[in-house]
Amino acid sequence: MVTEPNQLFALLAGVLALVFWLSTIPALKRFFTILPPVIWAYFVPMFLTTGGVTPASSEVYSWMSRYLLPFSLFLLMITVDLPSILKLGRKAIIMMVAGTAGIVIGGPIAYLIFGPFLPADAWQGFATLSGSWIGGTANMLAIKESVGAPDAILGPIIVVDTVVGYGWMGILIFLSAFQKKFDSWVAADNSAIEQANARLMELDQTRRPVQINDLVYILGLTLVATVVAIAIGDRLPAVGNPTIVSPATWAILLVVTAGLALSFSPIRVNLESAGASRVGFLALYLLLTSIGARADLLAVLEAPLYLAAGMVWISVHIALLMIVAKAIKAPLFFVATGSMANIGGAASAPVVASVYHPAMAPVGLLMGVSGYILGIYAALGCAWILGQLAFM
């Protein structure tokens, strides 16, 4: 068993490196398309702990949860291009928000149906999944820390996220062949897509080679923001019964809000051109390995009930999207990207967008990034509702 802190951290980092290296091998490309590297960043450490290689608890895991999450969120928020997101047009934004509303509403409905048959802490698992389905992995981990969800519950939640979430992604890709029929059914106006396509030339998709001063700037600014936010958060009271906003949540809200505020400054362009968001994802995936190492493999056996709940949940999400699309005459492209911007976040939305319109992947990326913003606040609201239902 590897217990020495430095060795344990190095092992987790090595596992992450191995997973992402394997994903670059051409023969394994299809495998990692179906089950992305981020999934294995969680499950491989879980298998190592189950096999007795790594401990189920360690001060390393606690340190990583406390510091890497706000660190990654600050970088992801500071690189958000909000003006470009708002320029996507009214229908794109409405479908994005409708997708979010479907998740916030669907979670409590699914919990009311399946909650009595699940463990008492299941509401925390549902809250965690709401974070994943409104923005992706970053928001999932943020909500997990906020509601104090036990590590063991993340096993079945990630199974649901993978099977139901990526299953819906596969359906959306299949439906791309029928977008003309759908658009005709809702009498869609595609002018918004044409306008968004015209604006793609305005989006800066370039990256310059990273310099040492870039990394110093990124690490220095983010570490200071992280430590200050944690120090302030520790002095603020918990909110809710059960607790929804803990000191850790205050720290997250502080770095998210500060990052969004700074995204309107020249700092955003300077940091993102050097790949700041990629540093944020690295910290996020490292954190995920530590959570996987604390998980209980046996908890995955509870996945069937969670899977049924997940299917009911996403059905509410889909139904609301269809109702809104019909009402505002939104094309299937905005339905698909608005949905995946929530369910899959910035990793999946560009993939789905490019299937519908190959040149529109940047639009999917922007909508996916907007999921980070909605996810922190909307998922906290969903978590509060779930907490109230659990203690009725």
Per-residue pLDDT of the chain (392 residues; tens, 9 = 90+): 888 999 999 999 999 999 999 999 999 988 887 777 877 887 899 889 888 899 988 999 989 988 998 898 888 888 777 776 677 778 888 998 999 999 999 999 999 999 899 888 899 999 999 988 987 777 788 888 888 888 777 778 888 887 888 788 878 888 888 888 898 898 887 776 666 666 555 544 555 677 888 889 999 999 999 999 999 999 888 776 666 677 877 888 888 889 888 988 888 888 888 888 888 888 888 988 887 887 666 666 667 889 999 999 999 999 999 999 999 988 898 899 889 888 877 667 776 877 787 656 667 767 777 776 777 789 889 999 999 998 87
pLDDT at residue 108, rounded to an integer: 95
In a domain, residue 13? The reply is no
Range(s) of the domain holding residue 134: 81-197+208-276+299-390
Residue 321 CB burial class (10 angstroms; 0-12, 13-18, ≥19): buried
pLDDT at residue 217, rounded to an integer: 92
pLDDT at residue 56, rounded to an integer: 81
In a domain, residue 292? The reply is no
In a domain, residue 281? The reply is no
Q: What gap in Å lies between CA 246 and CA 238, rounded to an integer?
A: 5
274-279 long-range contacts, Cβ below 8 Å, gap at least 24? 274/207, 274/208, 274/210, 274/211, 274/214, 274/215, 274/217, 274/218, 275/207, 275/210, 275/214, 276/75, 276/78, 276/79, 276/218, 277/75, 277/76, 277/79, 279/75, 279/215, 279/218, 279/219, 279/222
Q: Is 240 helix (H, G, I), strand (E, B) or coil?
A: coil
Residues 6+ positions from 32 with CB-CB distance below 8 Å: 22, 23
In a domain, residue 324? The reply is yes
In a domain, residue 143? The reply is yes
Residue 146 CB burial class (10 angstroms; 0-12, 13-18, ≥19): buried
Token readout for 197 is 């396509």
pLDDT at residue 242, rounded to an integer: 61
In a domain, residue 109? The reply is yes
Task: Tell me the HSE value of 172 on the side-chain side, using a 13 A CA sphere.
Answer: 31
Distance (Å) of CA 19 to CA 30, 44, 73, 81, 244: 14, 9, 23, 30, 34
Split into its structural domains, the chain has a count of 1
In a domain, residue 227? The reply is yes
Helix axes 166-175, 349-356, angle to 10 degrees: 10
In a domain, residue 217? The reply is yes
With b meaning 16 or more CB within 10 Å and e meaning fewer, what string describes 43-79?
bbbbbbbeeeebbeebebbeebbbbbbbbbbbbbbbb
pLDDT at residue 359, rounded to an integer: 58
pLDDT at residue 263, rounded to an integer: 86
pTM of the model: 0.71
Token readout for 257 is 């809000």
pLDDT at residue 161, rounded to an integer: 85
pLDDT at residue 278, rounded to an integer: 84
Q: What gap in Å lies between CA 279 and CA 223, rounded to an integer?
A: 12
